[in-house]
Amino acid sequence: MTKKKQKQLEEPFWIYLFFLTSLAIFSSVLRGIKFDLDLYSISVSVFAYPMIFYISNIITRKYGYNKSLEAIFISATIMILFMLISGVLFNKDINTLTYLGLFTSYLISSFLNLVIYYFLFMNTTLPKITLFTNYLFAIIVSEMIYLVLTLNGVLANDFWMVLLLEVGIQSIFAFVFTIYEQKNYILKRI
C-alpha cells in the first residue's frame, strides 16, 4: 500500500479532537447532575473522565505528544467557552470557582496523563499496572483539584467518602480501558 493511500485511510486528527472536546463538555455539564449511592451523592461525570484520558492516549499514540497537547488545550478552551456562553444564554449564575475548578482540573490532570503516558509509550511496552496507575493518578488529581477549588477549602463531612466512591467508580472504567488499550498496543506492535 502506498503512503498516500495509507494516509487517506487514517482517521483525521479533527475527529479525535471532536470526541475529546465533546467528552470535556459532556463531563462539565454532567458535574451538576448527581445520583445517589447509599447516603452519598455522586456526580454523573465520573463516567466521562476515564474516557477523556483514553481518547487523549489514542491521540498521543497516533499523532504524537505535540498534537495531543494541542488537543487538550483546544478542548479545555472550548469547554470553558461553552460553559460561559450557555451560562449567559440560560441566565445561570456564573460561579467563577466552579469554572476555574473544571478548567484547572481538566488541564492539569490531562497534562499529567499525557506526560506519563508519553513516557510509558516511548520507553516501555505499556504494562497494565503502569497504564492503570497512570489513569488512576490522573483521575485522583482531577477529582482533588476540582473538589478543593469548588468547595472553597471547606471539607464537608462526606468529602473523603464521595472522593473515594468517585475514584472507585472511575477506576473500574479505567481498568477496562487499560486492558483494551494494552491489548491494542500489543496487536499493533506485532
In a domain, 162, yes or no: yes
Q: Which of 163-169's residues contact partners 24+ apart within 8 Å by CB, and which partners?
A: 165/37, 165/40, 165/42, 166/42, 166/43, 166/46, 167/136, 167/139, 167/140, 167/143, 169/42, 169/46, 169/47
Beta bridge partners of 37: 40
In a domain, 104, yes or no: yes
Q: How many domains are there within the chain?
A: 1
CA atoms within 13 A on the CB side of 93: 5
Q: Give me 170's grid cell.
A: 472511575
pLDDT in tens, 37-81: 777 888 888 889 899 999 999 999 999 999 999 999 999 999 999
Q: How far apart are CA 42 and CA 38, in angstroms?
A: 10
**Whether the predicted pLDDT of 4 surpasses 60:** no
Q: 128 is in which domain, residue-wise?
A: 13-27+44-189
In a domain, 4, yes or no: no
In a domain, 37, yes or no: no
In a domain, 36, yes or no: no
Q: How far apart are CA 149 and CA 98, in angstroms?
A: 7
Tell me what pLDDT residue 53 has: 95
In a domain, 132, yes or no: yes
Tell me what pLDDT residue 152 has: 60
pLDDT in tens, 86-108: 888 888 777 788 888 889 999 99
